[in-house]
Chains A and B, each alone.
Chain A
Amino acid sequence: MAPDVTTPPAGGTALPPRPAGQRSVLQRVLATRESSVIGALLVSILAASLLVDGFASGRNSGFLILDIAAIALIALPMTLVIVTGEIDLSVASTLGLTSAVMGQLWVIGLPLETIAVLCLVLGALLGAVNGLLVTVAGLPSLAVTIGTMAMYRGLAYVILGDQAVADFPFSWTGGATARLSGTPIPWIALLIIVLAVVFGLLLHATPFGRSLYAIGSNDEAARFSGIPVLRTKLVLFIASGTVASLAGVFWTLQYGSARADNAFGLELSVVAAVLLGGVSIFGGKGALLGVLGGVLLLGTIRNALQLADVSSDMLSIVTGTLLVVSVVLPNAIERVRARRRTAEPPS
């Protein structure tokens, strides 16, 4: 595809050779954002294993995974959405509305299999509403999804009020947190990995994925080069809504409780994890591996701090500082490098 020439994805495995740089392949791999995130993740896992009692146990890693499952799931399509230069802030509300609907349908007496399917359809519809408002109506996604964030959460309250439905059968609630036989790993980890591979291949190994970077770098240029920009964005919003409702079904079963305020405020955690993973908020840059690293990094720090009995306020400070530093630092390095480049005589 033509746009690839102008927009090399930051996180692709096949980076085009830079004319100015004489750095080796290893140096280039190490310089990517993903490797610094993964590096930070490894360091924090190592530090937590050495310093925090009980961190490096199988049981604890099971808890860690369950803790970040919803964020990890929602972060996958969110990455693709942000790479195209859009954003979806309504995901946590979609999760909440799904949970409310799930509770109400269970009260009515539908079987859970049917409910789960209906919930996914609902998520796709909610995502399509976002997508249509952004593409057909041409409205900015930041404003649209702040609107639907309020609207979907509001509808969740309309459906379930401040009540909770908590009488789901144990076969389902226990099943949601069940471990893979013989291991401490919950099966949801498998689902996350499968979906991560699907979204990763989609983003990094298909023309569709390449077109997302083109759209994120320059929406108009992408349109002129024949990429169906609007249809692509619509598909991504539908994916985002569907996965958010999948996370909603899982969340409801995991905590055994359908409530309208489930996952309140989760959208900002998801966005923070995606940005920490090196995805540019302006679109056109980022890789799924970095995002997974970002999700795991936040999850590890949170888990370790909890085990170390450090109150959760430190977590907020660490999360916020990490997020700011992770963007300020590469920016500063880049500016210093640019200054040095202009100082040197052009070769």
Chain B
Amino acid sequence: MTGVSATQAPVAEHGGNGAVRTGRRIRQVRELGILLALVLLVAITTLTNPNFLSSQSVRDLLLGATLLTILAVGQSMVIITRNVDLSVGSTLGLSAFATGTLFVSLPALPIPVVALAGVLVGTVCGAVNGALVAAARVPALVVTLGTLYAFRGIGHWWAAGEQINAADMPDTFLGLGRVAVLNIPAPALIALAVVLTAGWYLGSYRSGRELYAVGSDPQAARLVGIPVDRRVFFPFVVNGSLAGLAGVLYAARFGTLDATVGTGLELEVVAAAVVGGVAIFGGSGTVYGAALGAMLLTTIGAALPMLRVDPFWQQAVVGLLIIVAIGLDRLLVLRAARRLRGGESRGA
């Protein structure tokens, strides 16, 4: 192996910049691909049923995509560091229920304080996951599978079969989805802000770039002096907070809350990220892609009934899409590797 790399050294040296550029082009091709699929889907559906682009249904679509988009952004940051958080559905449920409970027990509290408390519940959950993964060095899949059950159990125990209804919450809070700027509902704007902030951080900040380094090769990242544990911990906290935010928005949108809120959401979120081109083994992908993935999955759900396709097909189509997406990723990586002639041919 050493002999091979010695002969390749000049190529790698020379192609260093090219590798970065090729990598960036792959991402662009990949994200344009999803955008294209999304546009095509919307176009075909609109041609079949012009109602699809009515302002009401667009607003519904944006509202529907909000939660999944926010969750997919947080999940992507975790996956980029070669980890995963399966507990997001439970975290969302816990935070949504906490938000509702606060409204019931302390009606005098101002809405922003309650919302902040809901987000903080998520932050705490994320910090627990992050601490277990980063400090105790336990594989993220195992930790978050454990906390998936634990957080859900705590939610059940806390709720004790109770349900919180819309009547228990202030109207201003429940009306959040009806507030709109330029016909874009407020929650969708929040999601947009989350996507842009996270994208900017990952793209332009040193610590953001280091998340990719950690995900590509944790050991090499450690050797070059990146504080790997901190870089692994931080995305979990962000992801938990975003799941908390999604929980607050869930409470505002649906009004009816019990301990089962968000059950089974985790794999849908991972699917959105993967469809959006975030490699499951870390080191590559963007939150823009993940957001587009979330949009695409939501749009499929909304478009199929409009196209008069049996809604029972939805899940099968989503599954197929996931496999096509990762297949495409693999193909792009193989082509890039061939172009770089073995420079960076680590399989995705």
A interface residue numbers (CB < 8 A to B): 89, 133, 137-140, 142-144, 146-155, 157-158, 161-162, 264-265, 268, 271-272, 275, 281-282, 311-324, 327-328, 331-332, 335
A316 nearest CB neighbor, chain B only: B153
Residue B259 is within 8 A (CB to CB) of chain A in the complex: yes
Given the interface pairs A314-B157, A323-B142, A324-B138, the reply to whether A268 lies near B148 with Cβ below 8 Å is yes
* Bound CA span A321–B319, Å: 31
Q: Which residues on the B side are within 8 Å of A314 (C-beta)?
A: 153, 157
Interface string of B135-167 (1 = CB under 8 A from A): 011110111011111111111110011000000
Are B141's CB and A137's CB within 8 A?
no
Are A281's CB and B139's CB within 8 A?
yes
What is the distance, in angstroms, from A170's C-beta to the closest C-beta of chain B? 30
Q: Which residues on the B side are within 8 Å of A328 (C-beta)?
A: 132, 136, 138
From the candidates B86, B138, B316, B323, name the one contacting A157 in the complex (CB within 8 A): B316
Residue B326 is within 8 A (CB to CB) of chain A in the complex: yes
Stretch of B57-65, B185-193, B240-248, B267-275 on the interface side: B267-275
Are B319's CB and A147's CB within 8 A?
yes
Residue B312 is within 8 A (CB to CB) of chain A in the complex: yes
**12 additional contacts, CB 8 Å, given A268-B145, A311-B161, A320-B150?**
A138-B330, A139-B327, A147-B322, A151-B318, A154-B313, A272-B145, A281-B139, A313-B153, A314-B153, A316-B156, A321-B146, A332-B136
Secondary structure at the B interface, as helix, strand, loop or mixed, is helix
* Bound CA span A268–B84, Å: 14
Interface string of B305-318 (1 = CB under 8 A from A): 00000101111111
Are A140's CB and B281's CB within 8 A?
yes
* Bound CA span A339–B157, Å: 40
Secondary structure at the A interface, as helix, strand, loop or mixed, is helix
Are A327's CB and B322's CB within 8 A?
no
What is the distance, in angstroms, from A279's C-beta to the closest C-beta of chain B? 10
* Most chain B C-beta atoms within 10 Å of own C-beta, residue among A150, A158, A272: A150
Are B149's CB and A319's CB within 8 A?
yes
* Bound CA span A96–B300, Å: 23
Are A323's CB and B149's CB within 8 A?
yes
Q: Which residues on the A side are within 8 Å of B312 (C-beta)?
A: 154, 157-158, 161-162
What is the distance, in angstroms, from A148's C-beta to the closest C-beta of chain B? 6
Are B323's CB and A147's CB within 8 A?
yes
Residue B347 is within 8 A (CB to CB) of chain A in the complex: yes
Interface string of B287-327 (1 = CB under 8 A from A): 00000000000000000000000101111111111110011
Given the interface pairs A154-B318, A313-B259, the reply to whether A140 lies near B326 with Cβ below 8 Å is yes
Residue B211 is within 8 A (CB to CB) of chain A in the complex: no
* Most chain B C-beta atoms within 10 Å of own C-beta, residue among A89, A151, A161, A282: A151
What is the distance, in angstroms, from A282's C-beta to the closest C-beta of chain B? 7
Given the interface pairs A149-B319, A314-B157, the reply to whether A144 lies near B326 with Cβ below 8 Å is yes
* Bound CA span A268–B147, Å: 12
Are A151's CB and B319's CB within 8 A?
yes
B interface residue numbers (CB < 8 A to A): 84, 86, 132, 136-139, 141-143, 145-157, 160-161, 259, 263-264, 267, 270-271, 274, 280-281, 310, 312-323, 326-327, 330, 347-348
Are A324's CB and B153's CB within 8 A?
no
Are B319's CB and A324's CB within 8 A?
no
Are B280's CB and A140's CB within 8 A?
yes
From the candidates B147, B152, B330, B348, name the one contacting A324 in the complex (CB within 8 A): B147
Given the interface pairs A321-B150, A323-B142, A324-B138, the reply to whether A151 lies near B323 with Cβ below 8 Å is yes
B87 nearest CB neighbor, chain A only: A320
Q: Which residues on the B side are within 8 Å of A264 (C-beta)?
A: 264
Are B157's CB and A150's CB within 8 A?
no
What is the distance, in angstroms, from B119's C-beta to the closest C-beta of chain A? 22
From the candidates B139, B147, B317, B330, name the one contacting A154 in the complex (CB within 8 A): B317
Q: Which residues on the A side are within 8 Å of B316 (C-beta)?
A: 150-151, 153-155, 157-158
* Bound CA span A1–B148, Å: 40
**3 cross-chain pairs, A with B, having the tightest CB-CB distances, nearest first:** A151-B319, A154-B316, A313-B156
What is the distance, in angstroms, from B161's C-beta to the closest C-beta of chain A? 8
Given the interface pairs A140-B280, A146-B271, A150-B319, the reply to whether A331 lies near B137 with Cβ below 8 Å is yes
A152 nearest CB neighbor, chain B only: B319
* Bound CA span A50–B104, Å: 42
* Bound CA span A137–B155, Å: 41
Are A271's CB and B145's CB within 8 A?
yes
Are B280's CB and A324's CB within 8 A?
no
From the candidates A153, A316, A335, name the one contacting B149 in the complex (CB within 8 A): A316
What is the distance, in angstroms, from A163's C-beta to the closest C-beta of chain B? 11
B129 nearest CB neighbor, chain A only: A324
